[in-house]
Amino acid sequence: MLVLDLIGVAVFAASGASAAVAKRLDLFGVVFIGMVTALGGGVVRDVVIGAVPPLAFTDWEYVTTAAVTSLAMFWLHPQVDRLRRTMLVLDAAGLGLFSVVGALKGVDHGVPMVGAILVGMITGIGGGVLRDVLTKEIPVVLHREIYASASLLGAAVIVASTHFGLAKQVPMTIAIVLVFGLRLLSLYRRWSAPTPRVGSTSG
Amino acid sequence: MLVLDLIGVAVFAASGASAAVAKRLDLFGVVFIGMVTALGGGVVRDVVIGAVPPLAFTDWEYVTTAAVTSLAMFWLHPQVDRLRRTMLVLDAAGLGLFSVVGALKGVDHGVPMVGAILVGMITGIGGGVLRDVLTKEIPVVLHREIYASASLLGAAVIVASTHFGLAKQVPMTIAIVLVFGLRLLSLYRRWSAPTPRVGSTSG
Amino acid sequence: MLVLDLIGVAVFAASGASAAVAKRLDLFGVVFIGMVTALGGGVVRDVVIGAVPPLAFTDWEYVTTAAVTSLAMFWLHPQVDRLRRTMLVLDAAGLGLFSVVGALKGVDHGVPMVGAILVGMITGIGGGVLRDVLTKEIPVVLHREIYASASLLGAAVIVASTHFGLAKQVPMTIAIVLVFGLRLLSLYRRWSAPTPRVGSTSG
C-alpha cells in the first residue's frame, strides 16, 4: 500500500516539476512545485478532516520521494518529456489511487458520505490545482478534459461500497480501475466536459 | 436560520458560477467554482477555529444547494445575467449574513474579539477571494468598491454586542442590516475605498 | 521575544503593503495584503500543526501591528520605498526569525524532523507566497535569488540542534544569523539558484 502511494507521489511530483521547468522556475521552484503537486491534495485533505499534522509532515518517505523525483526532473526533464504518453498513464493511475484512498480516509474520520466524496476528489485533484495557481494558470481540471469527473466517480463508488458495509479490498480495486479507465478512455477519445453556450450577455 | 444560510449559499454559488461561465470553463469548472465561492469562506473559517470537518463536509444541504445552483447557472446564465441588479441585492444580503454568523461562530469557539471579527470577514469574503484566485483575477474586494469594509463593520458590531452580553437576536439583525445597507448604498453612490497616491518610485 | 516577533511582522507587513500599492489596490486591499504577508505563514503553520485558532487570531498584538504598519505604508510608501536597502536587511532578519521560530514550534507540537523543517520554511516564506498569489504573480521565491533555501537551512540547523538535545538559546541565534547572513550575502553577490537548461521539448 505504502509502495503504491509513493508511486503516486512520484508521478504527481514529476508532473509538477515538469510544469515548473516549463515556467523556467529555478531549482528551488521546481522542487517546491513538485512537492506541492504531489503532497498538496493530501495536506488539504488531512487539514479538512482534522488529521493534523498531515501525513506529508509526519512520514518522511513522502517528502523524500517528492523531493528526489522533482530534483531528478530538474535534470532529466528532456528525457522524461519524451515519455509523455507513459506519464499520462501513470498519472491516471495516481489519480485513481489518491481519489479512492482519500475518500476512504474521509470515511474513517467520520465524514458523512457526500463530504467524503468531496474529500476524495480534493485528494486527487488538489495538488494539481495548487500547482496551476502557483504557476499562474487557471487550473486545467476546470476547463479541459475528463479528470475531476473521473476522480469524483471513483470516490463515489468507494464511499457507496463502505455504506453497504462491503469489505474494502475489491471495491477499492474496482474504483481505482474505474477512474483509471475513464481517464484513459477520455484521453484516447478526446472527450471533454461540455462548455457553456455563451451569448452576447457574457464572456 | 438554515434556510437563510442556504439562500446565502445559493446566491454566492450563482455569482461564482457566473464568473466561471464568463471564463469559459467547462461544466465541471462552473460547478467547482460555484461551490468554492459558496462554501470556501465557511470552510476556511471552520479550519481556522478548529471546527473540523467543516460544515460544508458534514451537512449535505450545503453542498447540494451549491451544486444545484451552479448547475442551473450553467444553462440559465443568460437569463440570470439580466437580473444583475437583483443578484447584487441578494449578494449584499448574503455578505451580511455570512459575516455576522461567521463572527458569532468564532466567538462561540473561544476566539477573542479582534480575531472573531477577522473570522467573520473571512467567512463573508473568503469564497469570493478564492473564486478570483482560481480564475486568475486579483480579488475584486482588494481594489474596487465597499465590500470587505461592510463585512468588517458588521462583524465588529456583532462581536462588540456579545462582549456586552446582549442577547443575539436583535444585534444580529442590526449588524446584518448594516452590512446590507452600507453595501447597497455604496453601490448606488459608487463609493470606493481610497487608493494610494502613486509617485514616480512605485507602480 | 514577542518584541522581535512583532518587528518581523511589521517588516513583512510593509513588504506586502508596498507590493499592494504598486498594484494600485485600494486602502482595504493594501491593509489586507499587508496582513496576509505578515501573518499568513504563521496561520498556515498553526493550521498544519493543529495549533488552532492560530496565534494571529488569538493575540491582538499581531493583527494590530500588521494593520497599523500597512496603513502607514498606504501614505508613507514613497518615503519607505527610498529605504529599499534597509528594508531588505530587515526582511532578511525577519526571514531568519520566522523560519527558526516556526521550526521550533513544529518540534514542540510533535512534528518529526523532516516535517518540522518544512514547517519552519512555510512560516518563513508562506506569507510572501500568498502575497504573490493574491496579486497575480508567480511567487518570487520560486524563481529568483536565494531566499527559501536560506530559510530551509536555518530551519534544518535548529531542528538538528533540538535532535541532539542542545539548549535552544545559542542554536537559535546561530540559525537566525545563518539565514540572515546567507540571504544578505546572496543579495550582495547576486547569487541565484540554478535554472533548468531548456531544450526544444519544453518551455
Name the pLDDT band for A199 (thresholds 50, 70, 90).
low
Instruction: Provide ipTM, 2 decimals.
Output: 0.91
Residues near C77 by beta carbon (within 8 Å), at least 6 away in sequence: B196, B201, B202, C17, C18, C21
More confident residue, A203 or C73: C73
> In angstroms, rounded to a whole number, what is the distance separating the alpha carbons of residues B58 and B63?
9
C122: nearest Cα among C58, C180, C39, C193 = C39
**pLDDT over threshold 50, residue C202:** no
Contact C201 A78 (CB under 8 A): yes
Q: List, for residues C134-145, the tens digit of each pLDDT value.
A: 999 999 999 877
Contact B115 C18 (CB under 8 A): no
Q: List, for residues A57-81, the tens digit of each pLDDT value.
A: 999 999 999 999 999 999 998 888 7
- The CA-based diameter of chain A, rounded to the nearest angstrom, is 53
> In angstroms, rounded to a whole number, what is the distance separating the alpha carbons of residues A137 and A156?
28
**CB of B45 closer than 8 Å to CB of B106:** yes
Q: What is the 3-state secondary structure (H, E, C) of chain A?
A: CHHHHHHHHHHHHHHHHHHHHHCCCCHHHHHHHHHHHHHHHHHHHHHHHCCCCCHHHHCHHHHHHHHHHHHHHHHHHHHHHCCHHHHHHHHHHHHHHHHHHHHHHHHHCCCCHHHHHHHHHHHHHHHHHHHHHHCCCCCHHHCCCCCHHHHHHHHHHHHHHHHCCCCCHHHHHHHHHHHHHHHHHHHHCCCCCCCCCCCCCCC
Write out chain C residues lying below 8 Å of B194, CB-based.
26-27
SS3 category, B139: coil
Q: In angstroms, what CA-CA distances link C79 with C64, C87, C137, C154?
A: 22, 12, 25, 32
Average pLDDT, chain A: 91
Average pLDDT of C69-85?
88
Contact B199 C56 (CB under 8 A): no
Burial C50-60 (b: 16+ CB within 10 A, else e): bbbbbbbbbbe
Write out chain A residues lying below 8 Å of B43, CB-based.
48
Nearest chain A CA: its distance from C134 CA (Å): 10
Write out chain C residues lying below 8 Å of A18, CB-based.
202
Write out chain B residues lying below 8 Å of C68, CB-based.
none
Mutate to test the interface with C, among B45, B114, B135 (most CBs of C within 10 A): B114
How many C-beta atoms lie closer than 10 Å to residue A133's C-beta? 18
Count of residues for chain C?
A: 203
- The CA-based diameter of chain B, rounded to the nearest angstrom, is 53
Mutate to test the interface with A, among B15, B18, B23, B25 (most CBs of A within 10 A): B25
Say how far residue B108 (Cα) sits from the centre of its chain. Answer: 20
> In angstroms, rounded to a whole number, what is the distance separating the alpha carbons of residues B64 and A72?
43
More confident residue, C88 or C99: C99
Average pLDDT, chain C: 91
Candidate from A58, A78, A135 with C-beta closest to C112: A58
Q: Does any CB of chain A come closer than 8 Å to the CB of residue B108? A: no
Chain C, nearest residue to B49 by Cα: C53
> In angstroms, rounded to a whole number, what is the distance separating the alpha carbons of residues C155 and A57?
14
**Apex CA C39: angle with CA C171 and CA C115, to 5°?**
50
The pLDDT profile of chain B, 203 residues, written as one tens digit per residue, is: 788 889 999 999 999 999 999 999 999 999 999 999 999 999 999 999 999 999 999 999 999 999 999 999 999 988 887 888 888 898 999 999 999 999 999 999 999 999 999 999 999 999 999 999 999 999 999 987 789 999 999 999 999 999 887 778 899 999 999 999 999 999 988 887 888 876 544 43
Q: Does any CB of chain A come closer than 8 Å to the CB of residue C113? A: yes
Contact A143 B25 (CB under 8 A): yes
Candidate from B49, B133, B193 with C-beta closest to C26: B193
Per-residue confidence (pLDDT) for residue C198, from 0 to 100: 67
Q: Does any CB of chain B come closer than 8 Å to the CB of residue C191? A: no
Average pLDDT of C76-103?
89
Per-residue confidence (pLDDT) for residue A202, from 0 to 100: 43
Per-residue confidence (pLDDT) for residue A32, from 0 to 100: 96
C93: nearest Cα among C181, C187, C185 = C181
Write out chain B residues lying below 8 Å of C136, CB-based.
136-138
**Apex CA A189: angle with CA A186 and CA A195, to 5°?**
65
**pLDDT over threshold 90, residue C1:** no
Q: Does any CB of chain C come closer than 8 Å to the CB of residue A76? A: no
**E strand or H helix that includes residue B36:** helix B27-49
For A56, half-sphere exposure in the C-beta direction (CA atoms, 13 angstrom radius) is 23
Give the range among A83-87, A100-104, C63-67, C179-183 with minimum mean pLDDT. A83-87
Contact C21 B193 (CB under 8 A): no
Write out chain B residues lying below 8 Å of C134, CB-based.
129, 133, 138-139, 142
Contact A110 B53 (CB under 8 A): yes
Contact C202 A77 (CB under 8 A): yes
> In angstroms, rounded to a whole number, what is the distance separating the alpha carbons of residues C171 and C100?
10
B127: nearest Cα among B36, B65, B64, B49 = B36
Alpha helix (H) residue ranges in chain C: 2-22, 27-49, 55-58, 60-81, 84-108, 113-134, 148-163, 169-189
> In angstroms, rounded to a whole number, what is the distance separating the alpha carbons of residues C156 and C124?
13
Q: List, for residues A20-37, the tens digit of each pLDDT value.
A: 999 999 999 999 999 999
Q: List, for residues C115-163, the tens digit of each pLDDT value.
A: 999 999 999 999 999 999 999 999 999 987 789 999 999 999 999 999 8
**CB of C77 closer than 8 Å to CB of C34:** no
Chain A, nearest residue to C132 by Cα: A134
Name the pLDDT band for A164 (thresholds 50, 70, 90).
confident
- Report the percent of chain C where pLDDT is more than 90: 75
